Amino acid sequence: MTASRLATGGSAIDRSRPVRFSFDGATVDGFAGDTIASALLANDVAVVGRSFKYHRPRGIWGAGVEEPNALIDIDGASPNTRATTEPAREGLVAKSVNATPNALADRNAFLDRFSRFIPAAFYYKTFMWPDWHMFEPRIRAMAGLGEVDRSWVSSGPADQVNHHCDVLVVGAGPAGLAAAKLAAGAGLSVTLVDDQREPGGSLGYRDGEIDGKPAATWIEETLAALAAGGHLILPSTTAFGIYDHNLVGLNQRHFDGRRDTLWRVRPGKIVLATGAIERPLPFANNDLPGILSADAALSYLRRHAVLAGRRIVVATNNDSAYEVAAAVIEAGADVTVVDIRRDGMPAAPAKMKLVKGRTLASAIGRLRVEAVTLDDGSRLDADCVLVSGGWTPTIHLFGQAKGKLAWSEARAAFLPGDPVDGIAVAGAAAGAVSLSEVFTSAEKAVAAPGAQVPAAPRSTGPEATGGISAAWPKPGSKGRVWIDYQNDVTVKDVELAARENFVSVEHLKRYTTLGMATDQGKTSNLPGLALMAGITGRTVPEIGTTTYRPPFTPVPLASFAGGRVGQSMAPVRRLPLESAHRESGAVFQEYGGWLRPAHYGGRDADADRTIQDEARRARQSVALFDGSTLGKIEVIGPKAAEFVDFLYYNTMSTLKPGRCRYGFMLSENGVVFDDGVLVRLDEHRFVVSCSSSHVAAVHARLEEWRQDRFGCGAVYIHNATSQMATLTVSGPNARKLLETVGLGLSLADADLPHMAIGHGGYGGNEIRIARVSFTGDRSYEISIRADRAEPLWAHLREAGKAFDAVLIGLEALMILRAEKGFIVIGKDTDGTTLPHDLGSEGPRAKRQTEYVGRRSLFTEQASRGDRLQLVGLTVPQGEAPLPTGAHGIKRSDGRLRSQGFVTSSYESPTLGRPIALGLMECGAARHGETIEMQHLGKLRTATIAAPCAYDPAGERLNA
């Protein structure tokens, strides 16, 4: 028996509430208030996990977020959870990571015996041939930590909170509590966060008396006063990152089944009272279970009444371990302190054996420590070694905020350097040791010009001292001296990196993986770079630190995702008539962000036949189509005509009111950006009808030019796309059908010819009818208020029965437009297509006024003779449609070269043959030429034709 629970004491545990859970199948008994780590320790479970690479047995090292070893999977849902921060709960099932079948009897432990053959970078050097990816799955299965349970289902989205306060205090130890108290006293709103379940930090287990009161009383009173003042206190909450402009990310844990909550805090000021983390000492086998941080042992003793051992060796290079030694002696342990220093130590407590001027050479034991040897060769039996290698201030958040660090020889640590706007550092994080220093730094952190800050708390008890003599890992150390426990990096690995010239701290990190594990090197970074300094004959500040980046501790992706999961990740836009389409059996698909009917009825295997049927029947009588997604952006104002002239490639100002014109919008580099019909409602009012998926982009473009070039008084732009539903009636019988519905206007071709608009009414609502056609047939686009569209749609369907009208989805429409050679921007064009490539030469040749993209149409590139031009493609009789993306190829010197590609390809039910559109070199001049086509290695032929395959004379528009 070594580690054990004491009969009395333990400020954090409630002995009246026992909890029982399992670890690697064994029962563990603890109390409410225990962490999994403290309960394991109380049950003398020494081996809690296996190391990442060598499968070394590892025990609990720390008592907080810095824990490198004690990672566990909890209930299959939370892999790589630190046992030191996870509360013990009744019935919880905990499992060690990277161990098969369990931590104590891991079958991959043999790997450790081969360790000298697999040093840092072994994998990179060895598994290069023929391909790393052949080896990777095996290696990943053998190394690595926790496993994700793929059957696990989330309990719902995580909450996210946006929060503002005057002062955000990170860390509720003595410095944080004092800073929060002082800020609150100055009338500021305070938010206090701490990653432990119980605020107090080191005051919860270290000696201290404040304003004449015991530390516990002072903590309680301070928290009560803050709560009474309406200030927010968030325990179990980690400030994991400081982002631009001092946005602070917090991850709050709940331990009641709820997902963690992400807080985005915009404080007026940030006080970092994040404390310091104890470092290990370098000696051979310093990773054996039973070797703990001295500070952690004191925390377990005072907070959980767990004594880490009976025969304890305390190894130290600084004063802080003496308080620990005194406490474990008082708890009944036999204690020998081995101090690297010969003099300058604090007074030794009674019964403490002290070995001066010595260091540990090695630890001895197999699954747990049994003895240690000193550098003079002597041996001390021990069932537990408590180690204090000095303190590393937790300046991660300060570093993330681009704060510069300053090396302190006296503290053997990096401290915050030049101040960062809006951020103050207090307490141990700023290098303070005694409570008096801590409170002074808290006072300074809160101080601001004009602020009435009350008097700081006073330390009235014994004061800690900060004496330290640096004890960094040394090159040439005997045995295996571990630096990074979690990623299995030893002194020899760092030496190897130095030999291979990876001497920069960033190279050292990547080559050895030092500090790259889930603990991010909280205990290992500084010893590692100090060793590199020693090897290369430089100072620690000359080596410098790696870049600090969020997150400070692992944050569940669910926290970052919040409500943006499933459909909420990228919500689709929905048609006002969606329910009517569903009643008609529509099969929906997403097109450019819109959920639209692809076809009506005919699921799965029947889809193609249904689409063909819709396209065929549309040409025979009349088709009904929901075109509500079509852009409807109004351009209004005295300079509206001049504005659309500038925005379009085609001259639009000559358009008469009540008429429409098709045109292109170009980018400034001349590339076709969008196409569509422009409607002129009256002298100063146009409607830009743009591609459904381009509405936002076109609107932004119009706004940019309006604000940048024309001015707000000249033009006004209004995006009315979602306000209006657009119902399209197309086909030879379209007019006849509409005449039976009664739309309050004459549909005679003389009154409403092709490319004209008319105004009518339906059911008391104004309607606008545009005679434009994307099918090549006589078409009427009827626009009506979106929320009044349903009765009209129902009426059209009912009236359509007499004409054998067909509902068509987007797939059939795609066939109809391709038969006519009508393009879809971004499908039949790419990022190089200029308007004249599509056969639209006129404006380029004739326009004298300025328009977007104009100059780019006259560059050398734009005038090349071998540009890709829009063509139609036909295939030999009886052959299947060309695959979209197939290349037209040329042979020269026995080599194949692409001369263009297929952009759209369909079976045309009306023509009874495949049709295709494509972009081909000099295509416009090559109609009739047969070329070779290649797709995925298969060759066939196709004949270049005009893009329009059906009714080239356009007679059906007025049929």
Partner 1 sequence: MQLFPCPFCGPRDETEFHYGGDAGNTRPDGGDVPIDRWANYLYLRSNPKGTAREIWVHMNCGEFFVMERDTLTHKILSSAELGGEHA
Q: Is the peptide bond before 130 cis (omega within 30 degrees of 0)?
A: yes
Q: Tokens representing 196?
A: 């432990």
Q: How far is the CB of 194 from partner 1 (least distance, A)?
A: 24
CB of 244 to partner 1, least distance (A): 4
In residues, how long is the chain? 959
CB 921 within 8 A of CB 899: yes
The reply on whether position 245 binds partner 1 by CB under 8 A is yes
From 542, 704, 739, 787, residue interacting with partner 1 (rule: CB under 8 A): 704
User: Residue 115 or 669: which CB sits closer to partner 1?
Assistant: 669
Q: Are 373 and 503 in contact (CB under 8 A)?
A: no
Number of residues that bind partner 1 (CB under 8 A): 22
- The dihedral sign for the CA sequence 135, 137, 138, 143: positive
Q: Are 160 and 185 in contact, with CB atoms under 8 Å apart?
A: no
Smallest distance, partner 1 to C-beta of residue 240, A: 14
Closer CB to partner 1, residue 715 or residue 919? 715
With a CB cutoff of 8 Å and minimum separation 6, the contacts of 250 are 193, 234, 237, 238, 239, 240, 262, 263, 264, 265
Q: How buried is residue 125: exposed, middle or buried, by Cβ count under 10 Å (0-12/13-18/19+)?
A: exposed
Output phi, psi for 758, to 5 deg. -135, 160
Q: Which stretch binds partner 1 (CB under 8 A): 391-399, 834-842, 853-861, 868-876?
A: 853-861
When binding is defined by CB under 8 A, the residue of 14, 149, 668, 804 that contacts partner 1 is 668
State which of residues 155, 378, 539, 707 lies at the interface with partner 1 (CB under 8 A): 707
Under the binding rule (CB under 8 A), the answer on residue 846 touching partner 1 is no
CA distance 887 to 221: 78
Contact 454, 186 (CB under 8 A): yes
For partner 1, the closer of residues 493 and 674 by Cβ is: 674
Give CA–CA dist 721/688, Å, rounded. Answer: 10
Residue choice 669, 722, 832, 884 for contact with partner 1 (CB under 8 A): 669
Q: State both tokens at 114.
A: 């081969």
Measured from the CB atom, the residue of 409 and 704 that comes closer to partner 1 is 704
Residue 742: count of CB within 10 angstroms of its CB: 12
Q: Considering the rule CB under 8 A, would residue 856 count as an interface residue with partner 1?
A: yes
132 binding partner 1? (CB under 8 A):
no
Q: What is the DSSP string of 838-885?
A: GT--HHHHH--S--TTTGGGGSTTTT-TT-EEEEEEE--TTPPPPPTT
Nearest Cα residue to 924 out of 871, 888, 875, 866: 871
Segment contacting partner 1 (CB under 8 A): 202-210, 346-354, 534-542, 701-709?
701-709
CB 676 within 8 A of CB 695: no
Among 105, 410, 572, 700, binds partner 1 (CB under 8 A): 700
Torsion angle (degrees, nearest 10) of CA 641, 643, 645, 648: -130
Q: Which two tokens stand for residue 821?
A: 């050679």
The piece of 95-103, 115-123, 239-247, 911-919 that touches partner 1 (CB under 8 A) is 239-247
Question: How many Å apart are CA 890 and CA 871, to the nearest integer?
Answer: 17
CB of 899 to partner 1, least distance (A): 28
| Nearer Cβ to partner 1 (244/343) | 244
- Mapped onto helix, strand or coil, the DSSP state of residue 739 is helix
Q: How far is the CB of 662 from partner 1 (least distance, A)?
A: 23
For β-strands 190-193 and 209-210, DSSP reports them as unpaired
Residue from the set 500, 858, 864, 925 that interacts with partner 1 by CB under 8 A: 858
From the list 510, 616, 709, 788, which residue makes contact with partner 1 (rule: CB under 8 A)?
Answer: 709
Residue 748 interacts with partner 1 (CB under 8 A): yes or no: no
Q: Answer yes or no whether residue 243 interacts with partner 1 by CB under 8 A.
A: yes
Residue 470's Cβ-count burial label (10 Å; 0-12, 13-18, 19+) is: middle
CB of 161 to partner 1, least distance (A): 15
Please give the residues from 364 up to 423 whose contact with partner 1 meets the rule CB under 8 A.
402
Q: Decide: is 850 part of the binding site for partner 1 (CB under 8 A).
A: yes
> Which span sits near partner 1 by CB under 8 A: 69-77, 454-462, 563-571, 696-704?
696-704
Min separation Cβ 875 and partner 1, Å: 40
Closest to 759 measured CA to CA, from 685, 668, 860: 685
* Contact call for residue 854 and partner 1 (CB under 8 A): yes
Indicate which single residue of 247, 565, 720, 959 sits in contact with partner 1 (rule: CB under 8 A): 247
Least Å distance, CB 668 to partner 1, is 6
To the nearest whole angstrom, how small is the minimum distance from the Cβ of residue 858 to partner 1? 6
**Closer to partner 1 by Cβ: residue 303 or 699:** 699
Asked if residue 720 binds partner 1 (CB under 8 A), the reply is no
State the nearest-atom distance from the C-beta of 846 to partner 1, in Å: 11
- Least gap, CB of 564 to partner 1 (angstroms): 12
Per CB under 8 A, the list member of 343, 708, 866, 955 interacting with partner 1 is 708
Rounded to whole angstroms, the Cα distance separating 392 from 384 reads 23
183 with 447: CB under 8 angstroms? no
CB of 576 to partner 1, least distance (A): 24
According to the binding rule CB under 8 A, does residue 266 interact with partner 1?
Answer: yes
Task: Tell me: does residue 244 bind partner 1 (CB under 8 A).
Answer: yes
Query: Smaller CB distance to partner 1: residue 78 or 856?
Result: 856
Please give the residue ranges that form the binding site for partner 1 (CB under 8 A): 243-245, 247, 264, 266, 402, 668-669, 700, 703-704, 707-709, 848, 850, 854-856, 858-859
